[in-house]
Amino acid sequence: MDLARPDDRYLQATGVFYLSGAVHTVTFDNAGGVVALMKLLEAEGDDSMVARMYLTPQGETAPSANLRFHFNREHQVAAAVLVALDKHRRLHSWMTRGDAGRDDVTLVHDSWNPDDTALPPESFIFLPELRPAVVEFAFLEELPPPSVRWASVPDIGWS
């Protein structure tokens, strides 16, 4: 998918993550940085909060794509939603699809509105499956990331 952006600008991968009682805003230079952060999040991240990543054209303020993911360390499950704006200004949205669904775990795509943004169990993937999808989102520029299954969904419900 060709994301919305001026042709002469690259997409910068950034994110907001919750770790050790602090909010961290990160700009990624390469896939190794994403892998290192994901390992840290999987081991010590605040799994009560939703992580957010963005692909933003250089020099712009509005992202062309937004990935949100939530995980449960104890049960080793995760789910993600992705919204992207293409060059024709069409909005696309997807949700992960997996076989890790559990009735005793709630995952959401907005920590501040959990009742309105609960993800269905069929969106749950195993936590180790999340890392390659996040790396692909940041640097592969193929959306949705091919390492996990995705289902196209109507408006996810955030702006």
As to burial, measured by CB atoms within 10 angstroms (0-12 exposed, 13-18 middle, 19+ buried), residue 66 is buried
Residue with tokens 């002469």: 8
For 40, the 3-state DSSP assignment is: helix
- Asked if pLDDT for residue 101 goes beyond 70, the answer is yes
Question: What is the token pair recorded at 28?
Answer: 């990624």
Domain ranges of the chain: 11-152
pTM of the model: 0.91
pLDDT tens digit string along 25-78? 999 999 999 999 999 999 999 999 999 999 998 888 888 999 999 999 999 999
In the prediction, which pLDDT does 81 show?
97
149 has which bridge partners?
97
The Cα 53–Cα 14 span in angstroms is 6
